[in-house]
Amino acid sequence: MYRFQCHCKTVTIFVSHKPDSLTRCNCSLCQRYAAIWGYFKSEDVEIRAPKDSMDVYCWGDKCINFYRCKNCGCVTHYTLIPEAHLDRVSINFNMGDSKLINEIRIRHFEGSAM
């Protein structure tokens, strides 16, 4: 079990396994968030956050909801809208143990080219 938490510990996320790779994306948003994403199926992710403790940011084609803690501002994860027909929850691995990031291969995705 791996645990991820925002800075103020309001939001905690658990996943059961390590992904094969992590993704760093250079699109206009991910570059600003400086996030390193690990992709999971929703059934493999448990998100513990009090009601109304998170804000959501959605931009562009409105397929992705980026969640951040209302209190400390950390971007913890994103989800895809149902219409995207892809079961994915992406966890920002910078919310976890830095040693874990070092153990996993990082892919560089050219999101800025899309």
> Which residues bind to Zn ion, rule: CB under 5 A?
6, 8, 10, 69, 71-72
Least distance in Å: CB of 73 to Zn ion? 7
Least distance in Å: CB of 65 to Zn ion? 17
Nearer to Zn ion by Cβ, of 6 and 35: the residue is 6
Nearer to Zn ion by Cβ, of 19 and 78: the residue is 78
Strand order in the sheet with 45-48: 2-5, 12-15, 45-48
d(CA 88, CA 109): 17
Q: Which residue's structure tokens are 């892809």?
A: 86
